[in-house]
Structure 1
């Protein structure tokens, strides 16, 4: 990362200090002498370095895991003239309640060893294919896995080698049944709230950050020291052009609708 950057190592060290402290894009930009857009590109590159350092989940006999979806309102970035609908005024979300096509699903998996994964998997309620993608980075081989009653977990968990699957309805799921994953969802909501809205287009990158934070919380090293090491030894894949041209996930939903449909969903 440093070899391909025009910025000195000291600037990057100052920048990750701000990331570790949870600063906005503007504060480290001013401190490092770069514009906000460059600050954003720097953040995206640090997030890729974080992803490369994520530890794989552990599974096996005696390991219990829980999986469930978290539904978030779809969020757009960019100029409003290029968006399929108007903004949700005053921070309000979609009109429809519950699970709808205006929400996106994050499949989260956590085990009793403290390992976790989070994957942006679908628009609305995910089917078996989307659940399979959401479970891909999670090792559940030989583990006992608890989920809600959603039937789409059955085949992907069997294919992943889970030892067993326990299903719980909303009324039956207590602290011991789905408590770990529900707590993970609450921490994830709190994490995303810090940024006052994350575009769905960039959401997966912030999910990497969240999972990295979960791992870092168990380390004796400081977050700042860990990030400095990631920058000094890490690399990134996405160029500026890649990031600028990154597509909005699940865009085919909007492409298949005419103007009247869009106005009704706005």
Structure 2
């Protein structure tokens, strides 16, 4: 039977129960006062699905309050379908495809996609390489910045968007972020903020890392200019493999990304890479992990409407 035949993708009551079981594993929690006692499920023919009332603060609520679903008119079962499709598509799925598949407007599909990407954002304070393992770091350019150049150029990198990515070899997790400018000080700040001092820093021969590399247990690099890509366990092939997936998705699926949204697209590719099949996760696992990130990450249309991706 197809995974998409599961009841929570088709029945609204089951969809609410599915989300509640993962957001409230110990039972309903009032998002207004934080109460857990004296909460009742409201009934009646005119009562909407999943509506509770807290008899401590006297306010009604659903599991959607305080999440990426808040104030959305899209049925929760459609949200779950969208989350499964985005979490399970290795290189992403376009808003046009979601619009056709889910039967929502293109504008709604685009906004849903960004809300789901917001839920994919990690925000974890954990440092990579905390157990003394290797952490690969590399940088790349993609797309173009319309503030610098009105139309895409054929050569050079001055007009492109800049990205720095890190891969923790031990956990297999990826963490990438936009960089305003690939200069030594900015890259050093990114490295210091995300990699523990006991880690083995691994890069290519770029001079961006020569100074900050001295702050770590070791700094090893390969010299691509001489055709050296692997030396023992010293290589940046893993992070370059991540960039390969990212660029294929951005060029082949999304085709264009405004700089205002780049951090959310990066979060999407980080999420799927950090929860990939090679680490023991399947599509359903990723969708469930994604659900655990929906709380406290509400994104309004006013935040996104300034730029079109």
Normalising TM by the smaller chain, what interval?
0.7 to 0.9
Q: Is the 8 A contact 1:146 1:178 kept in 2?
A: yes
Q: 1:34 to 1:168 in 2, by over 3 A?
A: same
Taking only aligned residues, the RMSD between alpha carbons, in angstroms, comes to 3.1
More helix by share: 1
Cα-to-partner distance string for 1:168-212 (whole Å, 9 max, x where unaligned):
432343124322222222222223233223233322211111110
d(CA) in 1 for partners of 2:288 and 2:83? 7
Q: Are 1:144 and 2:214 an aligned pair?
A: no
The Cα of 1:221 is off from its aligned counterpart by: 4.2
Q: Is the 8 A contact 2:148 2:159 kept in 1?
A: no
Cα-to-partner distance string for 1:133-188 (whole Å, 9 max, x where unaligned):
43355323201112233333244445xx5212124432343124322222222222
The Cα of 1:57 is off from its aligned counterpart by: 5.2
Q: Which residue of 2 aligns with 1:182?
A: 240
d(CA) in 2 for partners of 1:233 and 1:148? 34
Q: Which residue of 1 aligns with 2:218?
A: 164
Q: Which residue of 2 aligns with 1:91?
A: none
d(CA) in 2 for partners of 1:229 and 1:196? 27
SS at match of 2:138: strand
| Pairs within 5 Å for 1:98-137 | 100-113=157-170, 114-123=172-181, 126-135=182-191
Mind listing any 5+ residue stretches in structure 1 that lack a counterpart? 77-82, 89-93, 249-266
The Cα of 1:241 is off from its aligned counterpart by: 0.8
Q: Is the 8 A contact 1:75 1:198 kept in 2?
A: no
Q: Is the 8 A contact 2:145 2:161 kept in 1?
A: no
Aligned residues: 231
Match of 1:211 among 259, 270, 295: 270
Runs of 4+, deviation exceeding 6 Å = none
Mind listing any 5+ residue stretches in structure 2 that lack a counterpart? 1-66
Q: Which structure has more RCO (C-alpha within 8 Å, separation ≥ 6)?
A: 1
